[in-house]
Structure 1
């Protein structure tokens, strides 16, 4: 029986099928922009079941109704070729069918089992981490990374995957070390760049983050739109925390929005960046209207709650009230009919958060603070990374401050400042709230620290 480049047996595979699978593995794990070449090969394959199976997973990762329908057709072809499928291939068929059916808990269980049984199947591990990510299960994300790392310590892709799991479990120092080890093998690994960016952001090392990402950005030109726009998005986050919001807005226009406007990941990068800029007082002009026209077809998709909340907020900020009303009703229906494993994500978090975001977009800050406060204890369940979900925490905090809930806002700001004591905006906000509650000495100290940090960063930019 033929084996692929990882030494895994592949049923009914000729040399071209093996070459296509190896190409897919490397292109997917390097976030390359040549994946349509694999789809073309899968469309022509008449013997090997893994090619249409992998094509199904590829289009499912687009998180669209069109992708799901296309995946169902690929799965039907794969099943027709599966007479001699081995155990690993049967597992791929089972998880693909579960994904099409929305049974993500089953997908994740199968992928965890695959990581234990076939840790050299790097795409099974990558997809398993994706399902863990979308389920908000950081521990599973890390478990899969650990199993792959134990069997592939010489592989820079696996280092980056393991590093991301470590970071999402708040093992920041380990994560940075493992990600940088991947870059010692190959500085071009964009997922390792991404993991390092998460670590630097978590520690509030913004100047270092800008320097690091700018130094690596020459390697992103061959990346797909998600990885290209998302790493530039991370650079924009550092710039925002450095009070360089004009540069962050310029990155929105030049690097973050416009590569593939129809793709969900590009859309949420855009929504999140505009929202974060507005939270820092930036006028983003008519950019919401452009983004919103690409969000309107997504009102009833409900693939990942984390995505839906950003779609809704983008529509709300664009003033698309009828679309917001329709999407809120659809989310309530989704929550009412949610499977048991996803009920907390949809019913306990997404529905109140969505109504809270809609209220915030209309300027009803007290209602936004109340509803988002209900959602916050369940936030990790909606999917996304710690850094990405912080958008909703930031909107909640702003709603608290604008509605005069000073004690609650102060508690959050103090915790933020302990974790990242290098952000001028946090210090200024602390000073503002301290003044409101009559703690003038602490207000003056926070304001002084903010000014000192701003001067330090201005010197760092000049040098």
Structure 2
């Protein structure tokens, strides 16, 4: 039985299958865009179960109905060769079948088993992290990384995987150290770039973040649409917080939206960036309407509550009221059918958040504040990163301020200012609330701090 570059046996493989598997591993770990040759080989190598299963995994990650159906056919081809499989490949089949059937907890468990027993199977380890990420389980992500590092210590991609897991666990100094280690081994690791950006975003290190990302951005042209647009999205967030909204809007037009408008991840990057720009007072013109045309087919998909919430807000801001009503009803139906492991994500997080987002989009501030506030304690369960889910907190805070729920808004603003004390916009909002509360001296201090920060960012 032939083995791949990681020393793992592959049932029924010939030399061309091994070459394709080695190539697709590099593309998968490095967020490359040269997957077509592997998918073409999968159409012909129907007797190689691992080829079919890795092709199915790539299709499932697309969160697209047609790709999901294609994955079902590939899993069936693999099942037909189950008698030929190695034990590792049988574990792959168990995980993929669970994932394709929507049982994410069982799927994560299977790929966790793969990482533990075969730590050189980095394709499986990356899938394990993805499955835990989609359920908001940062501990699971880090456990997987810790299991595979000893067997792959010289592999920069593995340190990048560990860096992001550490960041999601709020172990920020360790996360940055791992991200820098990954880049020192392999500068072309966009996931490590991304992990470093998360650290600097969380710490409010805006100048550092821009320098880090723009200093590595020359490598992103080799990335697939998701990683290319997402790393530019992160760069745009630093520009927004450092009072450079024109630069952020230019990145939206030139880097974030337009690479692959039909892809869900590009769509949610666009939704999130437009929303954040509007929160800073930027007129985004007809961009919502352009985006909504690609969101309208997604009303009933429900691959993930994290995706659904952003689709819905984009449609609402575009004024697609009938679509929003239809999607809300469909989402509620999906929540009724939630399995025990996902009930919190759909029932306690997604449903109130969806109604809260719809309320925010039409300016019903009190309703938005109430419903988003109900959902926030449960939002980690929907998946996504801290930085991505921060959008929902920002919209909630905006609703609190506009509804004049002043005491609650003040508490949230003070917490934000404690964590990231160099954001001029936060200081301005503090000044607004202090003025409403009759605290003139505190309001003056906050306004002066905001202006000093704005001058600093204008000068850099």
Per the TM superposition, whether the score is higher than 0.5 is yes
Deviations 1:371-419 (A, max 9, x none): 1111011011111000000000000000000000011111111111111
What is the match of residue 22 of structure 1?
22
After superposition, residues 167-186 of structure 1 pair within 5 angstroms as: 167-186=167-186
- Structure 1 Cα separation of the partners of residues 144 and 431 of structure 2: 43
Offset, 1:93? 0.8
- Written as runs of structure 1 = structure 2, the 5 A alignment for 1:48-447 is 48-447=48-447
Q: Shift of the alpha carbon at 1:91?
A: 0.8
Cα deviation, residue 313, structure 1: 0.2
Rounded Cα–Cα distance in structure 2 between residues aligned with 1:204 and 1:385: 16
Which deviates more, 236-245 or 13-22? 13-22
CA drift of 1:327 comes to: 0.3
Instruction: Give 1:46 deviation, angstroms.
Output: 3.7
Shift, 1:192, TM fit: 0.7
Shift of 1:115: 1.2
Farther-moved stretch of structure 1 (64-73 vs 142-151): 142-151
- Separation in 1 of the partners of 2:84 and 2:182? 37
Shift in Å, 1:211? 1.3
Find the aligned partners of 1:174 and 1:314 in 2 and give their Cα distance.
36
Query: Aligned partners of 1:113 and 1:426: how far apart in 2?
Result: 45
- Determine the C-alpha separation between the residues in 2 that align with 1:149 and 1:282: 44
TM-score for the superposition, normalised by structure 2: 0.99
Aligned to 1:13: 13
Alpha-carbon distance in 1 for matches of 2:100, 2:38: 20
CA distance in 1, matches of 2:455, 2:79: 63
Deviation, structure 1 residue 151 = 2.1
Q: Aligned partners of 2:187, 2:458: CA distance in 1, in Å?
A: 29
Q: CA deviation at 1:81?
A: 2.4
Does the 8 A contact of 2:62 with 2:264 survive in 1? yes
Deviation at 1:77, TM superposition (A): 1.1
User: Distance in 1 between the 2:128 and 2:204 partners?
Assistant: 29
Mapped partners of 1:418, 1:150: distance in 2: 37
Higher mean C-alpha deviation, range 263-272 or range 103-112: 103-112
RMSD of Structure 2 on Structure 1 (CA)? 0.8
CA apart distance, 1:48: 1.6
**Which residue of the partner structure matches residue 4 of structure 1?**
4
Q: Offset of 1:82 from its aligned partner?
A: 2.5
**SS where residue 222 of structure 2 aligns?**
coil
CA-to-aligned-CA distance 1:11-60 (integer Å, 9 cap, x gap): 12111111111111101111111011110111111432100110000000
1:42-87 Cα shifts (integer Å, max 9, x gaps):
1111432100110000000000111110100111111122321011
- 2:166, 2:19 → 1: CA distance? 32
Report the alpha carbon displacement of residue 150 of structure 1 after superposing the two structures with TM.
Answer: 2.7
CA separation in 2, counterparts of 1:35 and 1:278?
36
CA distance in 2, matches of 1:94, 1:246: 49
Mapped partners of 2:147, 2:439: distance in 1: 51
Conserved in 1, the CA contact under 8 Å of 2:243 and 2:458?
no
Deviations 1:210-245 (CA, angstroms, capped at 9, x unpaired): 111111111111110000000000000000001100
User: How far apart are the structure 1 equivalents of 2:395 and 2:345?
Assistant: 19
* TM-score of the superposed pair, with normalisation by structure 1: 0.98
Question: How far, CA to CA, are the matches of 1:114 and 1:398 in structure 2?
Answer: 44
Structure 2 CA distance for aligned equivalents of residues 276 and 230 of structure 1: 15
Separation (CA, whole Å) in 1 of partners of 2:361 and 2:337: 27
Give the stretch that moved more between structures: 96-105 or 450-459.
Answer: 450-459
Q: In the alignment, what sits opposite 1:33?
A: 33
SS in 1 for 2:6: coil
1:114 CA drift (Å): 1.2
- Tell me the number of residue pairs that the alignment of Structure 1 and Structure 2 aligns: 460
Q: Distance in 2 between matches of 1:46 and 1:279?
A: 51
Deviates more, 1:11-20 or 1:278-287: 11-20
